Amino acid sequence: MKLGRVTLHQIRLPLVHYFETSFGRTTERDIILVEVESEGVSGWGEVTASEHPFYSQEWTASAWIILRDYVAPRVLGREFQSAPEIAPLTAHIRDHYMARGGLEAAVWDLEARSAGVPLWKLIGGGSRREIPCGVSIGIHDTVPQLLDAIGRELAAGYQRIKIKIKPGWDVDVVRQVRERYASIPLMADANSAYNLAHADHLRLLDEFQLMMIEQPLGHDDIIDHAALQARLSTPLCLDESIRTARQAEQAIQMRACGIINVKLGRVGGFGEARRVHDLAAAAHIPVWCGGMLESGVGRAHNIALSTLPNFILPGDVSASRRYWQRDIIHPAVEVTPRGTIAIRDDPGFGYELDRDYIRHLTVRQESLV
């Protein structure tokens, strides 16, 4: 195979409900879609970077430059046999996993579409026909609003609820959630809002039978998480801190977490995501698929990823309608009353692109040859 053209499409898509984490509120997404072409077939990937460098160092504008000036020139016109050869071509670029991963995922989709096979099959997944789904619920203005939001998601069938926490919106909020919903599978994600000095405070969460506490400490930390884990009975789950399989290996060795959130973009694509998955499986550490408020393209990739065997726990992969009035894929991603998403057998990531709607949403576009 050989890539004849790489097209970057930046689209702007308003969220149906704002999403707030410890680092801020998002009302609208600015998403880069990466289209790669070979012999008349297009593959699509999504860059999962946020609009600002707050979740990680990357943001939409940095990803555009990295893709245009560093990633595309390395891959265009180069002969390759299959998608795993792509990530090493850009491995000399420090960090920028989401930019690199957006193109890598597009090439996997291209290869699957060219071969006429579903992406989940090409990556070695297919362990399940339906993936278990949870939801990530942001910080709300009031606790009653949060409780209502949780009630709506439970009524829709979702299998677990994740709430966002930060100092000032944590123990008391979790206590009120537990008073209302005593036995639901519940977890909390802090997005790095704490440090080790908060250890005694975070220990107060141990009484609420949370499935896990996600990324309480530094976005790039493993050592302090290991120290905190030794003091908590609730398992820690790492998100931000795991950008490479090597970091996952070190976190597991140090007992910094009992669970790993795997995000396709955060680790730079399917190749590295599979390596994280495999070494976690070997260490009996369950993983689940995280989300980055993706459009249908990234969502479809996450669904494929979630069919690998060790994606045992419900992920943050949920229905299109929770995010968008109208998604950019056909059909929209839907969740069954059992709180699952059924996988599809169409080639590639299994959904059709709504090119007219993508054109309508596009704020900038550039083709590289």
Annotated catalytic residues are 164, 263
Place of tokens 């707050």: 54
- 291 binds ligand OSB, rule: CB under 6 A: yes
- In the complex, the smallest distance separating the C-beta of residue 243 from ligand OSB, rounded to whole angstroms, is 14
Render 218-278 in DSSP notation, one character per residue: -TT-SHHHHHHHHH-SSPEEESTT--SHHHHHHHHHTT--SEEEE-TTTTTSHHHHHHHHH
Between 222 and 293, name the residue whose CB sits nearer to ligand OSB. Answer: 293
Helices (H), 168-222: 171-180, 199-203
- 136 binds ligand OSB, rule: CB under 6 A: yes
- In the complex, the smallest distance separating the C-beta of residue 320 from ligand OSB, rounded to whole angstroms, is 11
**Closest residue to Mg ion: CB criterion:** 239
- In the complex, the smallest distance separating the C-beta of residue 366 from ligand OSB, rounded to whole angstroms, is 25
What are the residues whose beta carbons fall under 8 Å from the beta carbon of 359, sequence distance 6 or more?
A: none
Among Mg ion, ligand OSB, none, the one that 310 touches (CB under a kind-dependent 5 to 8 A) is: none
Of 27-66, binders to ligand OSB (CB under 6 A) are 55
In sequence order, what are the beta bridge partners of 331? none
What are the residues whose beta carbons fall under 8 Å from the beta carbon of 106, sequence distance 6 or more?
A: 34, 35, 36, 43, 44, 45
Of 86-125, binders to ligand OSB (CB under 6 A) are none
Judge contact between 102 and 265, C-beta under 8 A.
yes
Of 222-281, binders to ligand OSB (CB under 6 A) are 239
3-state secondary structure of 346: coil
**Cis preceding-peptide flag for 331 (omega within 30 of 0):** yes
Between 226 and 293, name the residue whose CB sits nearer to ligand OSB. Answer: 293
Q: Which residues bind Mg ion (CB under 5 A)?
A: 189, 214, 239
- 293 binds ligand OSB, rule: CB under 6 A: yes
Between 110 and 267, name the residue whose CB sits nearer to Mg ion. Answer: 267
Among Mg ion, ligand OSB, none, the one that 327 touches (CB under a kind-dependent 5 to 8 A) is: none
- 192 binds ligand OSB, rule: CB under 6 A: no
Residue 212 main-chain phi, psi, to 5 deg: -170, 160
Q: Which window, 65-73, 120-128, 203-211, 288-296, contacts ligand OSB (CB under 6 A)?
A: 288-296
Between 239 and 272, name the residue whose CB sits nearer to ligand OSB. Answer: 239
Among ligand OSB, Mg ion, none, the one that 56 touches (CB under a kind-dependent 5 to 8 A) is: none
Place of tokens 């709607």: 357
Between 314 and 347, name the residue whose CB sits nearer to ligand OSB. Answer: 314
3-state secondary structure of 334: coil
Residues 59, 265: Cα–Cα separation, whole Å: 12
Binding site for ligand OSB (CB under 6 A): 21, 55, 136, 189, 191, 239, 290-293, 316
